[in-house]
């Protein structure tokens, strides 16, 4: 089912504000870590927002995603106070890790000849997991 304009607008508002909230938190507690919100999907009933986070360095992704998930209530409260004039009800936030950059890096390595040639042996490329 295709996203409506309203869903896209709400996702844009959430993405913009989540970037501010998460980068402020990363600035305070985690030096040398960059967190970006790569995509936000809002359900058709506007009750749930799936947030995909890209983390650099990627070896800390799982740890940071778990930390963000454990602080979802605080993040949702902060988001509700920021968007109180734009949204009637704050959607439930679900956080996921975005592995797109890792996937692209693996393809780039393979094409540059650093790994086994994927054209000659396609089984070398890992299958991408969809959330």
- Which pLDDT tens digits describe the chain residue by residue (131 residues)? 688 899 999 999 999 999 888 887 777 766 777 888 999 999 999 899 999 998 887 788 888 889 888 988 998 999 999 888 888 889 999 999 888 877 887 778 777 777 666 677 777 666 666 66
Q: Name the token pair of 9.
A: 């607008």
CA Rg, the chain, in Å? 17
pTM of the predicted model over 0.85: no
Q: Name the token pair of 46.
A: 């506007």
Per-residue burial over 68-94, b = 16 or more CB atoms within 10 Å of its CB, e = otherwise: beeeeeebbebbeebbeeeeeebbebe
**CA atoms of 82 and 73, how far apart (whole Å):** 14
Q: Which pLDDT score, from 0 to 100, does residue 18 have?
A: 92
**CA atoms of 55 and 100, how far apart (whole Å):** 11
Domains and CATH numbers, the chain: 5-98 (3.30.300.20), 100-131 (no CATH)
Could you write out the DSSP letters of every residue in 31-50?
A: TT-EEEEEEEEE-TTS-EEE
Q: Which pLDDT score, from 0 to 100, does residue 112 have?
A: 78
């Amino acid at each position: 089912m295709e996203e409506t304009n309203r869903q896209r607008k709400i996702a844009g508002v959430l993405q913009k504000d989540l970037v501010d909230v998460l980068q402020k938190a990363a600035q305070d507690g985690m030096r040398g870590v960059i967190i970006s919100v790569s995509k936000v999907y809002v359900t058709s009933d506007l009750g749930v927002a799936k947030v995909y986070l890209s983390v650099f360095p990627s070896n800390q992704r799982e740890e940071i995603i778990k930390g963000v998930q454990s602080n979802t209530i605080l993040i949702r409260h902060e988001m509700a106070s920021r968007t109180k004039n734009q949204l009637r009800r704050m959607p439930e936030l679900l956080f996921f890790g975005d592995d797109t950059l890792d996937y692209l890096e693996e393809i780039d390595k393979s094409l540059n000849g650093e790994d086994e040639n994927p054209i000659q042996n396609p089984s070398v490329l890992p299958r991408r997991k969809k959330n």
